Amino acid sequence: MKERLSTTVQQLKPSGIRRFFDLAASMDNVISLGVGEPDFVTSWAVREASILSLERGYTSYTANAGLLELRFEIMKYMKRNFNVSYDYKDDIIVTVGGSQALDITMRALINPEDEIIVVEPNFVSYSPLISLAGGVPVAIETTEETEFKLQPRQIEEVITSNTKALLLCSPNNPTGSSLSKEELQAIADIVIKHDLLVITDEIYAELTYDEEFTSIASLEGMKERTIIISGFSKGFAMTGWRLGYICAPTEIAKAMLKIHQYTMMCAPTMAQYGAIEALQNGQHDVEEMRKSYRRRRNFMVKSLNQIGLECHSPGGAFYVFPSIKKTGLSSEEFAEQLLLEERVAVVPGNVFGKGGEGHIRCSYASSMESLEESIKRISRFVENKL
């Protein structure tokens, strides 16, 4: 029989996060710090707007790029919050989550053998999506010494004639690291010098705790070479709604729209009506959630350091990424034994690529009560291992 499957797909590894979820799901009394999603329910006003759209019978497809009214709100939001101006008719596409936005970005940009620089540890989808689009992910490793922040000189070290783009994620999943305006400027200078594109995943932009969030697209000379990926999943607690968006230079957005048209037609209609409400009136809810995450971040960073698991204070997202090196265990061993012995689920850092080994990702999008209990259990576990 002929080979049925694509070699690219055969070579893809299944997500390392799933294995731990499956194991944790088969056990009782587990506290999960494993999931990467808000513990809040989407605000009632957003749910109500979506219900209302159904009551009114808005159940058909929208424009391929998304409801014009939603794109208009996204345009205003980008201008208001991040000081970057887009044409809502031509530069913005509403997608099925940040996930689809990432997928069509890669497929619209990549020719065979094009290299995309990725900064590891990173979100598990990046390299597989680049490979699926026929490109080559080129990893830069960041480490705890620089609080997992990309150093601009590292970009120059990996640039070749095939380098097309740099993929950034700030605030970062899994490290929570956030780049300041000055740090982004230093990266932008190199990107411009080498005529690269930047794909910036800003899905955690609203969840920034210490400094104001800066989009690299807002820096001088960057908008025309930047593709912003964002969405409603994290900041607006809307993971299940499957709604994201892309803001890109017109020519690139047009190319992406072709792929979106053929594969998705459009994002879910009722979710788009909910998102309009989120952008128009949801800022207060976002602020409340942000404050709550910030309190929990402070608790986790302090507690983990007290236990002796060195942990920098991440500027955003809802993850901490402490070092577990002093236990002598690999991150896989640590995560597995912690789950079996103390019933706490975390994600081993190695699944996020280079620089992740020797760390675990703990999501603090969990109740304070669960966080306190998880810290007690982790503390007991670590004491036994030392």
Ligand X SMILES: Cc1ncc(COP(=O)(O)O)c(C=O)c1O
Binding site for ligand X (CB under 6 A): 36, 97-99, 123, 169, 173, 201, 203, 231, 233, 239, 244
**Closer to ligand X by Cβ: residue 92 or 329:** 92
Cβ-contact 312, 147 below 8 angstroms: yes
- CB 249 → ligand X: shortest distance, Å? 21
* Distant-in-sequence, close-in-space partners of 170: CB < 8 Å, separation ≥ 6: 177, 178, 179, 184, 200, 202, 204, 316
- CB 135 → ligand X: shortest distance, Å? 18
- CB 148 → ligand X: shortest distance, Å? 13
- CB 275 → ligand X: shortest distance, Å? 12
Q: How far apart are CA 234 and CA 386, in angstroms?
A: 36
Instruction: Provide DSSP, 44-107.
Output: HHHHHHHHHHHHTT--S---TT--HHHHHHHHHHHHHHH-----TTTSEEEESHHHHHHHHHHH
- CB 244 → ligand X: shortest distance, Å? 4
Cβ-contact 63, 261 below 8 angstroms: no
**Closer to ligand X by Cβ: residue 36 or 353:** 36
Q: How far apart are CA 139 and CA 122, in angstroms?
A: 10
**Closer to ligand X by Cβ: residue 233 or 323:** 233
Q: Hey, is 167 helix, strand or coil?
A: strand
- CB 308 → ligand X: shortest distance, Å? 28
Q: What are phi and psi of 30, to 5 degrees?
A: -90, 135
- CB 277 → ligand X: shortest distance, Å? 18
Q: How far apart are CA 150 and CA 32, in angstroms?
A: 29
Which parts of the chain are beta strand (E)? Answer: 31-32, 92-95, 115-120, 136-141, 163-169, 197-201, 226-231, 244-247, 319-320, 344-345, 347-348, 360-363
- CB 299 → ligand X: shortest distance, Å? 22
Q: Hey, is 216 helix, strand or coil?
A: helix
**Closer to ligand X by Cβ: residue 143 or 173:** 173
**Closer to ligand X by Cβ: residue 192 or 286:** 286
Residue number closest to ligand X, CB atom: 97
**Closer to ligand X by Cβ: residue 187 or 203:** 203
**Closer to ligand X by Cβ: residue 169 or 227:** 169
**Closer to ligand X by Cβ: residue 169 or 324:** 169
Cβ–Cβ contacts within 10 Å for residue 182, how many?
A: 9
**Closer to ligand X by Cβ: residue 142 or 327:** 142
- CB 169 → ligand X: shortest distance, Å? 5
Longest CA–CA span in the chain (Å) reads 62
What CA–CA distances, in Å, run from 177 to 124, 143, 224? 16, 11, 25
Q: How far apart are CA 385 and CA 339, in angstroms?
A: 14
